[in-house]
Structure 1
Amino acid sequence: MSEAPAILLTNDDGIDAPGIAGLRTELTALGDVTVVAPVENQSGVGRTRNHTTVVRDHPWGYSLAGTPADCVAYGLRGLDTDFDIVVSGVNNGPNAGNYVVGRSGTVGAGIEAAFLGTPALAVSAYHSTDFFLAPPEEYDFERPARIARRLVERGLEAGIYEDVDLLNVNAPVDSPSPPVMLTEPYHDYEQDVVPADPDALDGEFGSDGGELADGERVVHLHDRTWPGVVGWENPFPATDEHRDRYPVGTDRRAMVDAAVSVSPLSVDHVSPDSAALAEVVETITVE
């Protein structure tokens, strides 16, 4: 690409989050950057969309009272700019594993962009021992931002988006010279469902918004996105047992090794070939 690319920048941590500021600085050195980002934190909303939202002018572009996908939809279809790529991040905390990628607002912005015909890159930051960056103000997002800029520049030049809809990138903040690995999201997920004591919870949970009626009960639904890993707050123990849990070539193995994980994704819902299903469909009759 000979001309400076037009870049739409968003995130899911909110327009005032430290990760997007550093990424904007890096991308501005590469091309023309317009920011359209949520007013408030929208983590975990996936590709949720709203029918109506409020847009506010911002020194960097615009802020939206909506989701990352809303921001992308507005940027790509509500502005008079033909963007070359959408960049989402830098997210506070990794987005790795097939299930997590599916519910991430950071990645959801990229998926929305791909459905609207614009290539995208989602970038998330992690710490190889702290995992999440909390509080984020105490961490340096510059390295993930630099990595994202290089991937944007070289990816557009190399034409990778002829084959790839979206890149999902996880980069460490604490590794001085991390290797960069081509990966795929690891399939690893479980769910805990346990009874809850409604008296110990804030709020009203009855079906009518009041007290629980006969036959109603409250349960906790807890995602176990790193099943079997001891220490939710730190799923990277420095042991061979945990390193061997995740195969080389997966995004989670790259994170255990404090590497940069680059996973190419497609938004096409490709139907797998199934001879068994074809046979079932052929034998079904409706009377």
Structure 2
Amino acid sequence: MSDGLSILLTNDDGIDAPGIAALREELTALGEVTVVAPDGNRSGLGRTRNDTAVVRDHPWGYAFGGTPADCAAYGLRGLDASFDVVVAGVNDGPNAGNYVVGRSATVGAGLEAAFLDTPALAVSAYHSKDFFLSPPEEYDFSRPARAARGLVERALDAGVYDEVDLLNVNAPVDAANPPVVLTRPHHDYGQHVEPVAEPGDEYDLADDERLVRLHDRTWPGAVGWENPFPPTEEHRRLYPVGTDRRALVDAQVSVSPLSVNHGVPDSDALADVVETFEVE
């Protein structure tokens, strides 16, 4: 059992969000928790970084005028302290699927920590029926927080971080005793582009300009704000067992191990191209 851990805690919903309060309360049972979290909502920014930021003292640590990745960087290199692990969350809403994981600022904080050679865990919450936790103050984040606490403790003790850089966890707030499953991020993404305005419309556009809107289809099977992962046989067929999105369909705790090296696939075709290519 890991006793007396030094934990850096951050999130992307802001230092006053209910998810980080629940997570801080759980993690204090493992050791000393220092909070460096954004002073407001910084969702959807991935690993975006800033050159400068205002730091303000907070009863839990520091409110930071930057992104979650900034918070991880500042906490690990700007404080006179060393940390055993960085934990980000509990995020309001899930971060499941390759595309969403890449955009998530909760995961982005964990990736920044991993690049700085520190084990990390990102945890996000979802409701198995409502899906979106809105407004978040009406939901109880304690179950995802307990899942994060248990995984931090067990993963460090088991040497998981000798092979894994970051754990991405999605946990339901409403399912009693949800099973914990090992998953991989699922690829499910689309893009829809629609015109908004032409020259001569109410927008100030030059003759050679057009205004367009890009719609990310982060869960293409859903329309509007409906639950994209309802517990139906149709969605069980859509998302294979072992994927993070299937775990959400089944109201499970999804645990995906991630690496910061992005993978380097072997390609004989590329090797042939490079070996025969000459720049004139």
- Cα separation, partners in 2 of 1:108 and 1:212, compared to 1, 3 Å: same
Equivalence for 2:274: 281
CA-to-aligned-CA distance 1:175-203 (integer Å, 9 cap, x gap): 0110100000001110110111489x9xx
Give TM-score scaled by structure 2 length. Answer: 0.96
Equivalence for 1:58: 58
Equivalence for 2:6: 6
Equivalence for 2:263: 270
Which amino acid letter does the alignment assign opposite residue 73 of structure 2?
A: A
Equivalence for 1:229: 222
Aligned-pair distance for 1:269? 3.2
Contact 2:188–2:220 (CA under 8 A) maintained in structure 1: yes
Which amino acid letter does the alignment assign opposite residue 10 of structure 2?
A: T
Equivalence for 1:208: none
Q: Which runs of 4+ in 1 moved over 6 A?
A: none
CA-to-aligned-CA distance 1:58-91 (integer Å, 9 cap, x gap): 0000011000000000000001111000000000
Which amino acid letter does the alignment assign opposite residue 187 of structure 1?
A: H
Equivalence for 2:242: 249
The farther-off stretch of 167-176 and 223-232 is 223-232
Contact 2:2–2:30 (CA under 8 A) maintained in structure 1: no
Which amino acid letter does the alignment assign opposite residue 101 of structure 1?
A: V
Contact 1:226–1:232 (CA under 8 A) maintained in structure 2: no
Give TM-score scaled by structure 1 length. Answer: 0.94
Report the secondary structure of 1:96's partner residue. coil
Q: Give me the whole-angstrom Cα distance separating, in 1, the residues matched to 2:76 and 2:217.
A: 35
Contact 1:195–1:219 (CA under 8 A) maintained in structure 2: yes
* Cα RMSD after superposing both structures: 1.6
Aligned-pair distance for 1:239? 2.2
Equivalence for 1:238: 231
Aligned-pair distance for 1:282? 1.1
For structure 2, the 5+ residue unaligned runs are none
Aligned-residue sequence identity (percent) comes to 76
Q: Give me the whole-angstrom Cα distance separating, in 2, the residues matched to 1:158 and 1:251.
A: 22
Report the secondary structure of 1:196's partner residue. strand
Which amino acid letter does the alignment assign opposite residue 176 of structure 1?
A: A
Which amino acid letter does the alignment assign opposite residue 225 of structure 1?
A: T
Q: Give me the whole-angstrom Cα distance separating, in 2, the residues matched to 1:31 and 1:123.
A: 18
Q: Give me the whole-angstrom Cα distance separating, in 1, the residues matched to 2:33 and 2:159.
A: 20
For structure 1, the 5+ residue unaligned runs are 206-210
Give the alignment of 1:189-204 within 5 angstroms: 189-197=189-197
Which amino acid letter does the alignment assign opposite residue 53 of structure 1?
A: A
Equivalence for 1:185: 185
Aligned residues: 279
1:73 is aligned to 2:96: no
Equivalence for 1:17: 17
